[in-house]
A and B are shown apart, each in its own frame.
Chain A
Amino acid sequence: MKRTYWNSFIFAIPLLTIATVSFGDDDEEGFFKFFKRKPGIAPVTSQLYKEECGSCHFAYQPGWLPEQSWRDMMSRLDDHFGDNAELNPVNQKQVLEYLVSNSADKSDYRRSKKMMRSIGSSAAPQRITETGYFKHEHDEIPSRLIAENDKVASLSHCNACHQDADQGTFSEGNIEIPGHGKWDD
């Protein structure tokens, strides 16, 4: 009886270590966060959004931009960064509602808050890549790994390097740059 008791301890120690390491991933706010693992930004939940927007590009989480950014963007889909991305009026309204009710200014996720702090409450940027927060996070990566790397080509392609981008996780431990490998700074 006593032996089984100790055995369970011996198994528990490595298991707990593994759990701590793997759950600590997207965590920069202290040890206790590992009890409830939460991605840096709220993952996309709308199937319509995934389909309508995600069929051409990475389905950027609505928590990356404030409400006014999404309103501006959705009002000129006929010239969406040079492409035509028009939706029928019903879907256009539904997608806008989804974006607006999950925008950065309303989110309590860590990266949305950081984004809001970096752009200020009145700004309405159209490009995530031109925000202070985004630039700050990517300023150490040489262009040979992005622009001159065929498999990445642009910083807009989040999931080219952020392996769990579609789950809202952008932590440094989950970065793998194609043709280069893990990213350590």
Chain B
Amino acid sequence: MKSRRFSLYISILAIVLGVTSSLVHASVTSDLMAEYQHSGAQQPDPQKAKAMWTQKFPDDSGKNTRSCSSCHTDNLHSSGKHARTNKPIEPLAPSVNKERLTDAKKIEKWFKRNCKWTLGRECSPQEKSDFLSYILSQ
């Protein structure tokens, strides 16, 4: 009897946690989307981001070798690894990795670092909202 009640508590807790995490994730990304629109972005276009995901950009020697998929692979559901250090990178898709897109500061930090590495410049608000909508759809 006791163990049944315990498992009931656990399931309730799991449901509550699940719901709150998806809520957090929704409000964080919708706030960011609003911010990008405020800075001039139009409707987000996930297809555009998908095409850009595998597009190759020049590295320091001028060869087109760098893309988002260099580290994250072309499948957002799978793990990637850092192109230089080999350190594993957890999947980006929120459907398989609940922690993704739950922290606005983290999202902005990685946009800044990774856009600069890949494109050689920061991403525009439009590009960021495209990427965000693409990752969200995964």
Name A residues whose Cβ lies closer than 8 Å to a Cβ of B: 55-58, 78, 81-88, 153-154, 156-157
Is there contact, CB below 8 Å, between B87 and A83? Answer: no
Chain A residues whose C-beta falls within 8 Å of the C-beta of B60 in the assembled complex: 82
Is there contact, CB below 8 Å, between A57 and B85? Answer: yes
Give Cα A56 to B88, complex, Å. Answer: 8
Of residues A57, A83, A153, A157, which shows the largest number of chain B Cβ atoms within 10 Å of its Cβ?
A83
Chain A residues whose C-beta falls within 8 Å of the C-beta of B114 in the assembled complex: 84
Chain B residues whose C-beta falls within 8 Å of the C-beta of A82 in the assembled complex: 60, 84
A153 partner, pick from B86, B105, B113, beta carbons under 8 A: B86
Chain A residues whose C-beta falls within 8 Å of the C-beta of B116 in the assembled complex: 78, 84, 86
B112 interface residue per 8 A CB criterion: yes
Select from chain A the residue with minimum beta-carbon distance to B60. Answer: A82
Chain B residues whose C-beta falls within 8 Å of the C-beta of A81 in the assembled complex: 84
Chain B residues whose C-beta falls within 8 Å of the C-beta of A86 in the assembled complex: 112-113, 116
Is there contact, CB below 8 Å, between B113 and A157? Answer: no
Give Cα A56 to B105, complex, Å. Answer: 17
Chain B residues whose C-beta falls within 8 Å of the C-beta of A55 in the assembled complex: 87
Closest 10 CB pairs of A and B: A57-B85, A84-B116, A84-B113, A84-B117, A56-B82, A57-B87, A153-B86, A56-B85, A56-B87, A83-B117
